[in-house]
Amino acid sequence: MNKYFTKGQIAWLVILTVLVIDQVIKVWVKTHMYWHESIRVTDWCYIFFTENVGMAFGMEIFGKLFLTIFRLVAVTFIGWFLYKCVKRGLKTGFIVCISLILTGALGNIVDSVFYGVLFSQSTPVQLATFLPEGGGYASLFYGKVVDMFYFPIIDTHWPQWMPWVGGDHFIFFSPIFNFADAAISCGVIALFLFYSKSFNEAFHQIVSKK
């Protein structure tokens, strides 16, 4: 691949590809599925439409705005770091990992910043519409992140004889996530497994401007 693309072009290719796929999936789910509607693919794989309001520690309006601004600051820093990595000609795989993390964060920011203005409210009985006449369900920066991938690989109950949790329902893997979340996870895991030393060296070199 390096024979045909520069490292900067590879970074842009990853960013644009992941961002387009993420947004196409989210827009389709948002406009074609009711809130909390579920589509069974297999016993352990579902498309389950939900929305993450993105609030932390029980905070309401301030918490949502703070989280969105924090994401914008984080994406700006990661973008700057990626730019420096490309300029320094670091390993292609390392650049791909950083690009995945950047794009995943950016994909969720698009939801948080714009979806409240672009779409109507999703409910269990009404599909959302794009650019509704009466305006969106929230103002700029107060949109909800669309999630849809649900993988209850193990769905069972704890044995009755087990203390504290006996008889309780147990699901693994229970979080519902989106394509952007998957990109972040893949980037972080690959970075940790294959490029942890490269990351430490690059971070210290770039931040210290050596």
Domain-by-domain residue ranges, the chain?
Answer: 7-208
3 state DSSP class of 147: strand
- What pLDDT shows up at residue 171? 77
- What pLDDT shows up at residue 58? 40
CB 103 within 8 A of CB 183: yes
Per-block mean pLDDT, blocks of 10 residues, the chain (210 long): 79 98 98 97 94 59 74 93 91 95 95 96 96 93 94 83 80 87 96 85 69
- What pLDDT shows up at residue 53? 75
- What pLDDT shows up at residue 161? 84
- What pLDDT shows up at residue 57? 40
Residues tagged active-site: 147, 181
Amino acid at 198: S
SS (H, E, C) the chain: CCCCCCHHHHHHHHHHHHHHHHHHHHHHHHHHCCCCCEEEEECCEEEEEEEECCCCCCCCHHHHHHHHHHHHHHHHHHHHHHHHHHHCCCCHHHHHHHHHHHHHHHHHHHHHHHHHHHECCCCCCCCCCECCCCCCCCCCCCCCEEEEEECCCEEEECCCCCCCCCCCEEEECCCEECHHHHHHHHHHHHHHHHCHHHHHHHHHHHHHCC
- What pLDDT shows up at residue 137? 95
- What pLDDT shows up at residue 66? 80
